[in-house]
């Protein structure tokens, strides 16, 4: 009798666990929408009723005729006209399609900040295997305990049809950005008066999660390996940062190490996360501001508000141009808006509120996530008083050679002190190199030590 009761109990638990597991994934019927009325990554394929957002038809699959691999990426839309310009004076006419942070920027710099709006081009494109992986993930991916990790996923976004805010955040964290990439870029934090020193940084990234045929077992739970070396100015040169980010952060949280050239030692750096200052940032961005948001989502309760239409930076090929010098871009208070392009796109809105019993210098943050790429494209950050403090904007292009949408530069604007930080400038150098061959051995503490002593 006891044995039968035990078997019944085990079977009941198995059924309950199976039901919970099924609820954690998208049903086959819902997943079938992907690649049909939804794109393979979950965006609404159709345009909007007004015709101001066109349908997605596969994005850029053929680069411009004048593009050759290795060269800087030419603007595929050089003849597109400016449809209209949003200023502080007319902002209320467009307020329903602006974030609170964007409106605050217009009011903070009424005489110098504006938004040139161009025709919308839904040109986001990815390798075919990424589309297939996203559709597979929809049927298998699950959040781990507390949402601080994902299992049963690989290669592409885990939740193309998100049900929770934290799922949309994980889509940003695990979106496809190539398999490996390297670049040398400028990071600049102008003073309120407009003076600045250029920080030159070499960055290498390996994305094992995105590798063809990747599984949680083959990648050893690693989402990405990140190595950053400060090349100049001399007072900062030689500082190195190594980060290992994981997919299931409950099983294994982020690990980070730093190398200080003065001490000539590699040290574990558990503080390279959350609201600790970013590398050589003069306090103008947090560690988790890089790439708009990175690392663990554990300190926030995330709410999925839904989709909305927003004027956002998009197809910023003019900003990417090698014809520009840094002085053409870096203005007092903000980057030069003459070189920016804004378009009307649908975005997912996700609100994050600091969890009770934990802390972050941003008490609340709102992410506006491009539905076609899952990249956070605008982020509003609030202080403990509930006031807009900082506004981050990601200026991206579609890199033809992969293909992949990725940032060519990002900026975080501080509305209180009148400063900002610009990260990723390559106009006076070379753009991203997605052909760089990297291996896990390039991202070990031992490699960090060797790099620091070269």
> pLDDT, tens digit, for every residue of 144-203?
989 999 999 999 999 999 999 999 999 999 999 999 999 999 999 999 999 999 999 999
| Cα(114)–Cα(103) distance, integer angstroms | 10
Give the contacts of 132 (CB within 8 A, at least 6 positions apart): 40
Instruction: For the beta carbon of residue 450, count every other beta carbon within 10 angstroms.
Output: 11
What pLDDT does residue 4 have?
Answer: 41
Nearest to 361 by CA among 289, 296, 415: 289
In a 13 Å sphere around the CA of 103, the CA atoms on its Cβ side amount to 14
| Cα(448)–Cα(445) distance, integer angstroms | 5
Nearest to 221 by CA among 190, 249, 246, 193: 246
Instruction: For the beta carbon of residue 33, count every other beta carbon within 10 angstroms.
Output: 17
**Is residue 276 scored above 60 in pLDDT?**
yes
Nearest to 147 by CA among 216, 22, 248: 248
Nearest to 304 by CA among 145, 172, 403: 172
**Is residue 23 scored above 60 in pLDDT?**
no
Main-chain dihedrals φ then ψ at residue 410, nearest 5 degrees = -140, 155
Residue 251 burial by Cβ neighbours in a 10 Å radius (0-12, 13-18, 19+): middle
Q: Give the C-alpha distances (Å, rounded to integers) separating 216 from 137, 147, 434.
A: 12, 17, 23
Domain 84-452 bears CATH identifier 2.40.50.100: no
The residue ranges of every structural domain in the chain are: 84-452
What pLDDT does residue 451 have?
Answer: 72
Q: What element of type H or E holds 225?
A: strand 222-232
Give the contacts of 454 (CB within 8 A, at least 6 positions apart): none
> 105-154, pLDDT tens digit by residue?
999 999 999 999 999 999 999 999 999 999 999 999 999 989 999 999 99
Give the contacts of 122 (CB within 8 A, at least 6 positions apart): 53, 54, 55, 56, 57, 59, 345, 372
Say if CB 284 and CB 178 are below 8 A apart. no
Instruction: For the beta carbon of residue 36, count every other beta carbon within 10 angstroms.
Output: 9
Q: What is the CA radius of gyration of the chain?
A: 22
> 47-97, pLDDT tens digit by residue?
999 999 999 999 999 999 999 988 999 999 999 999 999 999 999 999 999
The DSSP call for residue 70 is T
Residue with tokens 């590699």: 266
Quickly state the pLDDT bin for 7 (edges 50, 70, 90). very low
Mean pLDDT of the residues in the chain: 93
**Is residue 454 scored above 70 in pLDDT?**
no
> 356-395, pLDDT tens digit by residue?
999 999 999 999 999 999 999 999 999 999 999 999 999 9
Residue percentage of the chain with pLDDT more than 70: 94
Residue percentage of the chain with pLDDT more than 90: 88
What pLDDT does residue 310 have?
Answer: 99
Strand pairing report for 300-313 and 342-354:
antiparallel
- Tokens describing residue 449: 């030590």
What pLDDT does residue 263 have?
Answer: 85
């Amino acid at each position: 009798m006891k044995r039968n009761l035990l078997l019944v109990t085990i079977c009941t638990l198995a059924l309950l666990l199976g039901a919970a597991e099924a609820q954690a994934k998208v049903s086959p019927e819902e997943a079938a929408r992907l690649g049909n009325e939804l794109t393979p990554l979950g965006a609404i394929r159709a345009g909007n009723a007004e015709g101001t957002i066109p349908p997605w038809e596969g994005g850029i699959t053929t680069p411009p005729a004048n593009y050759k691999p290795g060269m800087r990426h030419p603007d595929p839309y050089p003849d597109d006209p400016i449809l209209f310009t949003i200023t502080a004076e007319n902002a209320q006419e467009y307020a329903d399609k602006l974030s609170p942070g964007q409106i605050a920027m217009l009011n903070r710099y009424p005489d110098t900040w504006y938004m040139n709006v161009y025709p919308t081009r839904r040109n986001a494109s990815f390798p075919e295997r990424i589309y297939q992986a996203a559709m597979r993930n929809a049927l298998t991916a699950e959040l781990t305990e507390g949402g601080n990790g994902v299992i049963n996923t690989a290669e592409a976004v885990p939740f193309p049809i998100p049900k929770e805010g934290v799922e949309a955040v994980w889509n940003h964290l695990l979106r496809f950005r190539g398999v490996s990439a390297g670049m040398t870029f400028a990071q600049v934090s102008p003073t309120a008066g407009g003076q600045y020193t250029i920080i030159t940084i070499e960055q290498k990234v390996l994305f094992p999660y995105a590798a063809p045929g990747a599984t949680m077992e083959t990648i050893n739970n690693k989402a990405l390996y990140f190595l950053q070396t400060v090349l100049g100015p001399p007072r900062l040169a030689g500082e190195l940062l190594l980060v290992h980010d994981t997919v299931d952060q409950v099983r294994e949280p982020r690990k980070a190490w730093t190398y200080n050239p003065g001490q000539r030692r590699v040290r574990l750096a558990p503080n390279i996360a959350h609201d600790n200052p970013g590398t050589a940032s003069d306090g103008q961005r947090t560690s988790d501001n890089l790439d708009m948001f990175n690392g663990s989502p554990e300190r926030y309760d995330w709410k999925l508000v839904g989709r909305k239409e927003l004027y956002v930076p998009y197809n910023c090929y003019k900003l990417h141009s090698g014809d520009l010098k840094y002085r053409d871009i870096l203005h007092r208070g903000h980057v030069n808006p003459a070189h920016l392009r804004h378009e009307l796109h649908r975005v997912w809105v996700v609100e994050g509120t600091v969890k009770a019993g934990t802390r972050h210098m941003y008490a609340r943050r709102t992410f506006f996530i491009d539905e076609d790429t899952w990249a956070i494209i605008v982020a509003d950050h609030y202080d403990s008083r509930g006031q807009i403090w900082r506004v981050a904007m990601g200026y991206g292009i579609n890199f033809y050679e992969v293909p992949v949408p990725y940032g060519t530069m990002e900026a975080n604007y501080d509305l209180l002190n009148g400063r900002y930080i610009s990260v990723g400038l390559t106009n006076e150098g070379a753009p991203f190199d997605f052909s760089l061959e990297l291996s896990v051995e390039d991202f070990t503490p031992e490699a960090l030590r060797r790099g620091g002593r070269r």
